Structure 1
């Protein structure tokens, strides 16, 4: 399915199941999402981390909605706590099958997102590894001078901000040197098609979601 339609489908699923109490629909979405993740051969470590983090969030929501609530409603508490798994697994299905570059290109071409936002998002994502390396270099340089910069040290983040500002300026100059002009028409190097099959799958998925949400308890 087209990345933009996958994004819209995940958004619709999250919004509809946020306002509609349907535990069975939540369970169906969770099972299908988990099956898809296993089909895409998600790493066991990644899946375990997702289950642990989402499980803690679900337990917290369940405690707030049932144990510490004035009105004991087990069904409602299970519904709102299971939504944490819905959001996490549904989003994971999008990220495991679509790269950031594919998503940015699709949003620009199919949903007509301004190119400055698409390229800005890609630039921000691509600069993260460089910032991580820069932070390590800053800490190592500090240790060589006998200064230990802890994770919460304001000096560390101040130096990292200076590195980020310098990198942002270099990135802007690099884009301009490669011919990027904001608002100017641009050719498409890698086209992201939006076919009738994509629309058909999207419509079928939305219809099944609505049928399940409004027919199942």
Structure 2
């Protein structure tokens, strides 16, 4: 797992006046399941793809990188913050903190002019993993969510390995009409988590192209 960051500066400003969030800022955020970056050439391919998506690339959350290390690397001008299996924090430019919680969860906290932004990047156990491992993930995820400062804007993104379906009956409080396939057990767990934390599954609110 690896959130990557390219800080944004205010027009005409410098790093001392850097702001990522304001009432006049549009922040484009994306997340990808990379399916491994450990093979030769995969990192170069990823950077080309990120540039092609035109997300502004101020922030991109990456899951399933298969890179077992923690820290910071800079590749072709892109700062990569790695979350392996060890704990630690990191500060860099717009970041208030970076915390690699585990190989499945990492958080970053960013400066804002109105409120700060906390982003939790996750990679949930897939269907091949046991229900017990899934519950352990959500237990840890809930603990990290509970530690988020109450005044922060919170975004949780990544790969939940869950299918939420497209039936909104009794679920309009947490999702839109554009899910896919049929709801599965991991989807039910995700919906329960969102309901308990007053969260909304935003990619169900718009139809995929």
Indicate the structure (1 or 2) with the bigger Cα radius of gyration: 1
Q: Which has the higher contact order (CA 8 A, sep 6+)?
A: 1
TM-score normalised over the length of structure 2: 0.25
TM-score normalised over the length of structure 1: 0.24
Q: Which has the higher strand share?
A: 2
